[in-house]
Amino acid sequence: MTQLVRMFVIVFVVSFGLIYLTSYLNDSEGYSGSNTLTIYNWGDYVDPELLDRFEDETGIKVIYQTFDSNEAMMTKIGQGGTTFDVSIPSEYAISKMKEDGLLLKLDHSKLPNLKYIDPRFMNLSFDPDNAYSIPYFWGTVGIVFNPELVGDLTFSSWNDLWDKSLRNQILLLDGAREVMGMGLNSLGYSLNDTEEAHLQEAKAKLLQMTPNVKAIVGDEIKMLLANEEAAVGLVWSGDASEIMDENDKLDYIVPEEGSNLWFDNMVIPKTAKNIEGAHQFINFMLDPEVAAQNAEYVGYSTPNEAALALLPEEIASDERFYPDEELTERLEVYDNLGKRMLAHYNELFLEFKMHKK
């Protein structure tokens, strides 16, 4: 054999060896294809230990990415070019994603643990029969405050946030619906109002609040309030519960005019590459022990009846985070206001934010 032929044979054998090895790894413990699961979730919204446990139990490698608003999540999934297998939007976003054809139908036969969900969180108007989404957490929007830093001021109304004594003392969560909702509710309007005059009135009212607003922030709001960097915050209930775990001087109320009641559900976006694994993950998160551990870790309210029974009594009976029906009836769920109106809410919120800077 000439030198040249020998070299060809070697290159040929080595290349085939490599191709074989790659396909062997793909089919076995090598993490790729059906062996990975890409999850797209809110920040601070799962106990990382549970992701490790899911990986150990299933051999599926989890790739985890986060978002900080429904709007950012919908834009990213809508643009394509991603491979998210599971995501966790809120109700109005689920309704919009369904409309835009961004969600896959779920196979309930692969979700036996669905039986643990409290029926009052099933079959809600944004997703009848839960064809596309499975309850994960729920909660309210309200005011967390530090009684030691607010003098004689007490909180029962949204309008308390406009009190002059709160100059530079308020942190707001960075959410268009939440901040606009606060403005609308403070005027006695619905947080689903679409009348232009009311929306402009709400924006003008929010602008009057700017001297009191220290910053509009993401998940760091919890650390800042717990560390007493500000006296008051507009927050989601579960964040309030976490803040109060860190600093028990703080308290949480849902204003009397009303506020938002929200539901975050697990979905399989149409970008999914591992539909089987996505069902496995959703079913895993519905397991009562898993759901209880997750609820204790993130501080949010679980819709899982069996998990709630496993939580310490002081959590399960805390009406600030598990409000009774009388309170929830005063609250409103965000409607899917349609593409144009949602964009308009965003615009008004951005104008308010820019003014703040």
Q: Does 91 bind ligand N2P (CB under 6 A)?
A: no
Distance from the first to the final alpha carbon of the chain: 77
Stretch that binds ligand N2P, among 16-24, 40-48, 107-115, 330-338 (CB under 6 A): 40-48
Name which of 102 and 166 has its Cβ closer to ligand N2P. 102
Name which of 90 and 186 has its Cβ closer to ligand N2P. 90
**Binding residue for ligand N2P (CB under 6 A) from 90, 133, 140, 186?**
90
Beta-carbon contacts of 319 under 8 Å, excluding residues fewer than 6 positions away, are 327
> What are φ and ψ of residue 178, in 5° steps?
-70, -45
Name which of 98 and 222 has its Cβ closer to ligand N2P. 222
* DSSP secondary structure string for all residues of 313-351: HHHHT-TTTS--HHHHHH-BPPP---HHHHHHHHHHHHH
Size of the site for ligand N2P (CB under 6 A): 9
Which amino acid type is present at position 236?
A: W
Stretch that binds ligand N2P, among 37-45, 74-82, 127-135, 142-150 (CB under 6 A): 37-45
Name which of 44 and 251 has its Cβ closer to ligand N2P. 44
Beta carbon of residue 264, minimum distance to ligand N2P (angstroms, whole number) = 5
Q: Where are the beta strands (DSSP E) in the chain?
A: 36-42, 61-67, 86-87, 134-145, 170-173, 213-217, 232-236, 251-253, 261-266
For 219, the token pair is 């998940």
Question: How much is the CA Rg of the chain, to the nearest whole Å?
Answer: 24
Q: Does 45 bind ligand N2P (CB under 6 A)?
A: yes
Stretch that binds ligand N2P, among 1-9, 36-44, 71-79, 287-295 (CB under 6 A): 36-44
Q: Does 321 bind ligand N2P (CB under 6 A)?
A: no
Q: Does 219 bind ligand N2P (CB under 6 A)?
A: yes
State the CB neighbour count (10 A cutoff) for residue 45.
18
Name which of 158 and 262 has its Cβ closer to ligand N2P. 262
- Enumerate binding residues for ligand N2P (CB under 6 A): 42-45, 90, 219, 236, 262, 264
